[in-house]
Amino acid sequence: MAVPNMSLIRFNLPVNVCIFLIISCVDSCFIPGFIYSTVPQTLPVGHVISKMDHCDTKKWQFTTNDPNFTIQPDGTIVTVIITMVPANGRQFSVLFQDPSGQKGVMKVYLGQKSGKVLKDGPLKRFKRRWSPLPFNIIENDDPPFPKNVELVRSDSSAIRPVYYTISGPGVTEGLFSVDKDTGMLLVNRAVDREKTPEFVFQFRVFDIETNQETDEPLPFTVNVIDVNDNAPTFTGPLRFTVLEQSKAGTVVGIVKATDLDQSGTDHSKIRYSLLSWNDLFFIDPETGVIATNTDHLDREAKDTYLVTVQIQDMNGAGNGLSNTATATVVLGDINDNPPTFTKSTYSVTIKENQEGGLILRIPVEDKDMVNTPNWNSEFVITKGNENGNVRIECDPKTNDGLIYQTKAVDYEKTKNLKLEVMARNQAELNGTLSRWESVPVDVSVEDVDEGPEFTAPTMFLSVKENTPNDTLIGTYIAVDPETKSSAGISYYKVSDPASWISVDKSTGQLKIANTVDRESRFVTNGMYNVPVKAVDSSLKTGTGTVIILVEDVNDHVPDVPSKLLLMCEEHGGVMGSVLVLAEDKDQSPYSAPFSFSLGKEHDGKWALNPLNDTAVILKQAQELRTGLYPVSLIIKDLQGFGKTQTVTVRICHCRNGACLPQWSSTSLGARAILAMMLALALLLLFCITFFCVTKNEKMEVEAIGGMLLESNIEAPGNDNLNRIYVPSSGLHQSVKGSVAGGRLEGVKKVTIGGALGSQQNLLQQSGGVLQNGLSGRYVLTRGGQYVGRQCGSGILDDHVFLKLNSSPAWSTWLTTGNFLQEKLAYLGTVEERQYSEDIIHQYGYEGVGSPAGSVGCCSDQGNQEDLDFLNTLGPKFKTLAEVCKQ
């Protein structure tokens, strides 16, 4: 409240109340800024504190903030109940408002008569000569300046000349000053309470003559009275979000504001109000909380509201200062709108036998917020897709449904698809009674001229192996899908690797073309596949598959794959034994279990012990020497089919269960082996040339053990080769000396007989010499000419028999020569190719022999101690056999 022309007046009241009244020109009502009253400790009811003169209480409004006191209509302040005044005093305020609406406050301070004063009161005890008390000034006072604020005087000024000084905040800045002669406090410009609500000064008084202080310094306070010069301002954000369709009373947000005026007064008491959208929102006038005013906020109708908010001080009074701002209220989305189809039905046409590709796009609309689970659609085919011909997806950009074809449709079987498609959102519906929508989709299938189709994609036929050729096993036909007729359709095989089946071009009949063998490599798990193609008149094709289930027949007998068996000789009283394993290519019940028995010619030398369904143990029944023994075995399958088979058992010396090499000697190289072969050939020629025998007299010589060894030629051997017959008498001449360097003298004619056929003159020699050659080779040199004729009956012509001197090499030389002689005769009487088949082989190939035998370029590298090469000299001696035939 502006109070112009303030002056300070001092009153001395009977009740010792010091009152400084502010004389106002408004209706002559004198209201002091404060009242200090000394009262007893206990105030009875109706005790008068003070009285405000010349104040029309009908025009002026007075209230107190202490219910123990009241103001009567004549302006008297009295107690209404018994009130205690503490030792440190008591205070309360009188609030008033003038007829123009201006408000003010008057402080009332009460102190006990004991002389104690209020601790926090505006007055302190000073020397009595200081007259001023705390006082107030109004902020933002109007010019002109400077203005008198208060007259401060000391009683000492009455007895001597003095001057006054002032110090403190505001003085050095020139805001306040003092008239040094009179003590009048001056304000030089307007004061802003929001910057400095009070000023505390130090007044001093000095004797002009002595410059000595006449009183103690006087501290006093100047309070700046607030005026409502600041409008409230917004301090917080004004953007709020609330879900659509929220219930009425749902909090939207809080509007925050502040006022720089004095707190606790109406100048800073803010009241909130909305100037727009009051039908949808309301705001609490005291707290600024905005809430919904309806249940029907619809984001799809309007998603953002700009609400005007007003804030006004003076608690909303008409004379208060105000401010406005726009608060933005955004409605959050809920899934209250399901996706809807733009059409009530959809249709599309596809071609039969077509696979893959987009066939239909189904757009939908959704009012909810885009690219959120409330808007994103999901599609489901609820009917008509039982065969999985199509699938549906969602286009993430457009939210459309996309129908793709995944399986070809046959027009002859399905002419249309009746689909039903449902659209829904990723989020469940909320705040609505709507349901997910569905739409029918009609997919028509367009007929296409297509190739023939077989009555079944795959036909199974059972055929026994070895079925006769030209046997009809079935008919595989195709029909035109449109006409259901087989007319004009031709049939062809796509593949038939074994060439077992023939297909009739016109009828599709399937016949046996070649012998079916279940054991063929073309049969897998008993099945043989023949893809077949059908071609109509328009050259359109269709394919099918005939699967031949080959039934087994008993067309194989058990067989021992290894015909050479190794057996250790008797050792420590234990007879040797060997495992005999048989195989049958047939399947059960035409194969195992097998029955094993010995042939009739086993002579009690062998015995069999059963082991399992496919094997027995062949063991010696009596002690046998080392060597090769043929053993006949009768092996039959479960049906009793079988044959007699001969296996060769080699009994050998063993060490650690393995046969030892037959000869233990220095290892020979390839050249040494070739030298031995040449020497043996020369020995054979020497034997043929110089030995003769009598026709009927023979001498039986046993072959030296170990000379006949196993070879790699698999064929029956010559059982006669182990016995060589030579003359037993008729020795007429002998050659003295060793084998090396021996000289043959007086020989005219030599013949060899026995089991070799007719008599033959083998050698006509004059002065023949057998001499030692290089590297241990034996070379026969002769001066005569070799003549070969038809052999005789085995009689020694002229009874001449050559005998070498007794030397270590004689028996070996003799036996080897006789063996080669017998083999040469045998080779001259057999078939062209059989010379290589009379030797036992030990490999798995079950075909026929090779005319070249088993000797290769490097066959002698395997075991340089093995003399099996003696059994593979057939091709080299073919010429000699031809000579002998003559």
The model's pLDDT over 796-855, given as tens digits with 9 standing for 90+, comes to 333 333 444 444 555 666 667 776 766 666 555 544 444 444 445 455 545 545 544 444
Report residue 816: phi and psi, to 5°.
-65, -40
Three-state SS at 687:
helix
d(CA 836, CA 534): 54
What is the pLDDT, as a whole number, of residue 323? 96
What is the pLDDT, as a whole number, of residue 23? 35
Which residues lie across from 39 on neighbouring strands?
Answer: 112
Task: Indicate the fold that domain 233-332 takes in CATH.
Answer: Immunoglobulin-like (2.60.40)
What is the pLDDT, as a whole number, of residue 133? 58
What is the pLDDT, as a whole number, of residue 874? 58
Sheet of 401-405, strands arranged across: 358-362, 401-405, 390-394
144: preceding bond cis by omega (within 30 degrees): yes
What is the pLDDT, as a whole number, of residue 697? 41
Q: pLDDT, tens digit, for every residue of 851-886?
A: 444 444 444 444 444 555 555 555 556 667 666 655
Closest of 568, 649, 560, 561 to residue 843, by C-alpha: 561
Whether 18-225 shares its CATH topology with 233-332 is answered yes
DSSP character at residue 256: -
d(CA 700, CA 351): 97
d(CA 641, CA 825): 39
Closest of 515, 502, 521 to residue 464, by C-alpha: 515
- The 3-class secondary structure across 835-869, one letter per residue, is HHCCCCCCCCCCCCCCCCCCCCCCHHHCCCCCCHH
* 431 Cβ contact list (under 8 Å, min separation 6): 244, 245, 334, 335, 336
Decide yes or no: CATH 3.40.630.20 for domain 564-659.
no
What is the pLDDT, as a whole number, of residue 126? 38
What is the pLDDT, as a whole number, of residue 877? 64
Domain 340-446: CATH class, spelled out: mainly beta
d(CA 56, CA 74): 8
Closest of 528, 453, 457 to residue 483, by C-alpha: 453
What is the pLDDT, as a whole number, of residue 275? 95
Instruction: Give 12: exposed, middle or buried? Use CB within 10 Å, 0-12, 13-18, 19+.
Output: exposed
CATH (one of 3.90.1420.10, 3.40.50.620, 2.60.40.60, 3.30.70.141) for 453-551 = 2.60.40.60
Domain boundaries, the chain: 18-225, 233-332, 340-446, 453-551, 564-659, 670-846+864-880
Task: Indicate the fold that domain 18-225 takes in CATH.
Answer: Immunoglobulin-like (2.60.40)
Q: Which residues of the chain have pLDDT under 50?
A: 1-27, 114-129, 131, 664-668, 690-711, 713, 715, 717-807, 830-839, 841, 845, 848, 851-865
